[in-house]
Amino acid sequence: MENYQMMMFNTQPSPTPPYYNYDHYPQNLLPFSTTTTYDNNNNNTTTNNIGSLHEFLLSSNSNDEKIISSQGGGLIKRRPEEGEEEEQGGMVKKMKKKVRREKYAFQTRSQVDILDDGYRWRKYGQKSVKNNKFPRSYYRCTHQGCSVKKQIQRLSKDEGVVVTTYEGIHTHPIQKSNDNFEHILSQMQIYSGC
């Protein structure tokens, strides 16, 4: 499993890049075995054995935004769900009305920025970001009625790392026919030389 995990996060440019859509993984085979939790100051707080992303999402009940770095380079950032905001003076009403959805970020070591997750995306913006020489790209899912967004940004301090942030949940099946677990496995075997 450890080899698979590394393959999932270390992609190479290819006509048929590895697929790693977590929503469609068998939940017990997600590439998360060990996670390290950091607080807002990036201090290491805990290290846990977590069998899968699914388990992590179920077990995570803190209202704080978290950054989770998994063995192999995965990273998850969780934000409070709608209605979880702390009340802060005059901001309460606005915060309550504002729809905030779950946001998860995956940190991937890759030479390519666009990592194929099986869904079709349309780019709607690009911005330069403070303290980062690489721009951040904004994408929306092209499926009708699906409002999932993602952001892609390469780290300035580690140019080999791409951070993909997903916001929202897809309301439809995956849009590419060859995105199944057998395909993922065969891709990993090709790259790992098995």
Minimum CB distance to DNA, residue 94 (Å) = 5
Q: Which residues bind DNA (CB under 7 A)?
A: 91, 94, 98, 120-130, 136-139, 142, 149, 151
Between 138 and 191, CB nearer to DNA: 138
Secondary structure (DSSP) of 57-109: HHH---SS-EEEEETTS-EEEE-PPTT-PPP-GGGHHHHHHS----EEEEEEE
Between 16 and 142, CB nearer to DNA: 142
Minimum CB distance to DNA, residue 166 (Å) = 12
Which residues are paired to 48 by β-bridges? 35
Minimum CB distance to DNA, residue 113 (Å) = 10
Burial (CB count within 10 angstroms: exposed 0-12, middle 13-18, buried 19+), residue 30: buried
Between 11 and 35, CB nearer to DNA: 11
